[in-house]
Amino acid sequence: MPVTKRQYEKDQAVLNIQQSPSVTPSITVTPSITPTISVTPSITPTVTPSITITPSISVTPSPTPSSAYFYLSNIFTCYSGSGLIECGQFIGQTSIYNPSSNFTVGNFYTGSNNRIYQPVSVTTSGSGAITVNGGAGYTSCRLACSSSYN
Protein backbone atom coordinates (compact mmCIF):
# COMPACT_ATOMS: atom_id res chain seq x y z
CA MET A 1 0.00 0.00 0.00
CA PRO A 2 1.25 3.16 -0.98
CA VAL A 3 1.99 5.72 1.66
CA THR A 4 0.10 8.83 1.17
CA LYS A 5 1.28 12.16 1.94
CA ARG A 6 -1.24 12.52 4.61
CA GLN A 7 -0.31 9.27 6.25
CA TYR A 8 3.35 10.21 5.99
CA GLU A 9 2.78 13.48 7.81
CA LYS A 10 0.71 11.74 10.42
CA ASP A 11 3.40 9.15 11.04
CA GLN A 12 6.00 11.89 11.20
CA ALA A 13 3.92 13.79 13.72
CA VAL A 14 3.79 10.73 15.94
CA LEU A 15 7.54 10.27 15.65
CA ASN A 16 8.32 13.89 16.42
CA ILE A 17 9.26 14.37 20.00
CA GLN A 18 6.99 16.73 21.54
CA GLN A 19 8.59 19.90 22.44
CA SER A 20 8.81 20.50 26.09
CA PRO A 21 7.15 23.61 27.34
CA SER A 22 9.43 26.59 27.60
CA VAL A 23 11.17 26.68 30.94
CA THR A 24 12.21 29.96 32.44
CA PRO A 25 15.15 29.40 34.70
CA SER A 26 14.67 30.68 38.19
CA ILE A 27 17.34 31.27 40.78
CA THR A 28 16.44 30.60 44.32
CA VAL A 29 18.70 32.16 46.88
CA THR A 30 18.97 30.27 50.10
CA PRO A 31 20.58 32.39 52.76
CA SER A 32 23.56 30.80 54.44
CA ILE A 33 23.92 31.51 58.11
CA THR A 34 27.50 31.51 59.34
CA PRO A 35 27.80 31.81 63.11
CA THR A 36 29.78 34.85 64.30
CA ILE A 37 31.97 34.47 67.35
CA SER A 38 32.78 37.65 69.22
CA VAL A 39 35.43 37.66 71.90
CA THR A 40 35.01 40.05 74.80
CA PRO A 41 38.37 40.55 76.50
CA SER A 42 38.39 40.11 80.23
CA ILE A 43 40.95 42.21 82.07
CA THR A 44 41.91 41.14 85.54
CA PRO A 45 43.72 43.93 87.36
CA THR A 46 46.99 43.01 88.96
CA VAL A 47 47.80 44.76 92.21
CA THR A 48 51.47 45.49 92.70
CA PRO A 49 52.30 46.76 96.17
CA SER A 50 54.61 49.73 96.22
CA ILE A 51 56.91 50.12 99.16
CA THR A 52 58.32 53.52 99.99
CA ILE A 53 61.60 53.49 101.83
CA THR A 54 62.60 56.68 103.56
CA PRO A 55 66.27 56.59 104.41
CA SER A 56 67.27 57.90 107.77
CA ILE A 57 70.77 58.72 108.75
CA SER A 58 71.87 58.08 112.27
CA VAL A 59 75.35 58.43 113.54
CA THR A 60 76.25 55.97 116.28
CA PRO A 61 78.13 56.81 118.35
CA SER A 62 77.63 60.56 118.15
CA PRO A 63 80.86 62.36 117.39
CA THR A 64 82.40 64.31 120.24
CA PRO A 65 84.71 67.10 119.22
CA SER A 66 88.14 67.12 120.71
CA SER A 67 89.60 70.17 122.40
CA ALA A 68 90.88 73.02 120.33
CA TYR A 69 88.10 73.05 117.72
CA PHE A 70 87.16 76.30 116.13
CA TYR A 71 83.47 77.27 116.27
CA LEU A 72 81.36 79.65 114.25
CA SER A 73 79.67 81.79 116.87
CA ASN A 74 76.95 84.44 117.14
CA ILE A 75 78.00 87.59 119.03
CA PHE A 76 75.68 89.50 121.40
CA THR A 77 76.22 92.58 123.56
CA CYS A 78 75.25 93.09 127.19
CA TYR A 79 73.94 96.26 128.79
CA SER A 80 72.89 97.40 132.24
CA GLY A 81 69.85 99.58 132.56
CA SER A 82 67.52 100.37 135.47
CA GLY A 83 69.53 98.03 137.67
CA LEU A 84 68.93 95.04 135.35
CA ILE A 85 71.55 93.38 133.22
CA GLU A 86 70.16 92.38 129.83
CA CYS A 87 71.34 90.61 126.73
CA GLY A 88 71.60 93.16 123.99
CA GLN A 89 71.41 92.90 120.27
CA PHE A 90 72.97 90.43 117.87
CA ILE A 91 76.02 92.09 116.29
CA GLY A 92 77.34 89.42 113.93
CA GLN A 93 79.33 86.20 113.79
CA THR A 94 82.96 85.27 114.30
CA SER A 95 85.18 82.26 114.81
CA ILE A 96 86.02 81.44 118.45
CA TYR A 97 88.55 79.11 120.03
CA ASN A 98 89.30 77.66 123.49
CA PRO A 99 92.52 75.62 123.71
CA SER A 100 91.59 73.94 127.01
CA SER A 101 88.03 72.64 126.47
CA ASN A 102 85.18 72.26 124.00
CA PHE A 103 82.23 74.57 123.63
CA THR A 104 78.67 73.27 123.73
CA VAL A 105 76.80 74.37 120.63
CA GLY A 106 73.83 76.55 121.63
CA ASN A 107 75.19 77.62 125.04
CA PHE A 108 76.36 81.18 125.75
CA TYR A 109 79.93 82.04 126.80
CA THR A 110 81.36 85.28 128.18
CA GLY A 111 84.09 87.20 126.44
CA SER A 112 85.85 90.52 126.90
CA ASN A 113 84.14 93.93 126.55
CA ASN A 114 80.75 92.53 127.65
CA ARG A 115 80.50 90.33 124.57
CA ILE A 116 78.59 87.06 124.71
CA TYR A 117 79.39 84.25 122.25
CA GLN A 118 77.00 81.49 121.23
CA PRO A 119 78.69 78.67 119.22
CA VAL A 120 76.45 77.47 116.38
CA SER A 121 78.72 74.98 114.59
CA VAL A 122 82.22 73.57 114.37
CA THR A 123 84.27 75.22 111.65
CA THR A 124 87.60 74.56 110.02
CA SER A 125 88.57 78.20 109.76
CA GLY A 126 90.80 79.30 112.59
CA SER A 127 92.23 82.46 111.09
CA GLY A 128 91.26 85.49 113.18
CA ALA A 129 89.61 83.31 115.84
CA ILE A 130 88.94 84.95 119.19
CA THR A 131 90.05 83.02 122.26
CA VAL A 132 87.11 82.66 124.64
CA ASN A 133 87.19 81.05 128.07
CA GLY A 134 84.93 78.02 127.71
CA GLY A 135 83.90 77.39 131.27
CA ALA A 136 80.52 75.78 131.78
CA GLY A 137 78.59 78.05 129.48
CA TYR A 138 75.10 79.38 130.16
CA THR A 139 71.71 78.32 128.85
CA SER A 140 70.58 81.90 128.16
CA CYS A 141 72.22 85.09 126.98
CA ARG A 142 70.81 86.97 130.01
CA LEU A 143 72.53 84.60 132.48
CA ALA A 144 75.84 84.97 130.61
CA CYS A 145 75.53 88.78 130.72
CA SER A 146 74.75 88.72 134.46
CA SER A 147 77.91 86.69 135.12
CA SER A 148 80.07 89.03 133.00
CA TYR A 149 79.07 92.03 135.16
CA ASN A 150 79.95 90.24 138.42
Q: Once rounded to an integer, what is the mean pLDDT over residues 58-66?
A: 47
Lowest mean per-residue pLDDT among 24-33, 60-69, 78-87, 123-132: 60-69
- The reported pTM is 0.53
Q: Once rounded to an integer, what is the mean pLDDT over residues 52-66?
A: 51
The domain locations on the chain are 70-149
Query: Do the Cβ atoms of 96 and 129 come closer than 8 Å?
Result: yes
Instruction: Name the band, by pLDDT with cuts 50, 70 and 90, for residue 92.
Output: very high
Better-scored residue on pLDDT, 120 or 133? 120
Q: Once rounded to an integer, what is the mean pLDDT over residues 17-32?
A: 63
Instruction: Name the band, by pLDDT with cuts 50, 70 and 90, for residue 66.
Output: very low
Q: In this predicted structure, what is the pLDDT of residue 90?
A: 92
- Name the strand (E) or helix (H) holding 93: strand 84-97
Average pLDDT, rounded, for the chain:
75
Q: Once rounded to an integer, what is the mean pLDDT over residues 70-99?
A: 87
Residue 79 has pLDDT above 90, yes or no: no
Q: In this predicted structure, what is the pLDDT of residue 16?
A: 61
Q: In this predicted structure, what is the pLDDT of residue 38?
A: 65
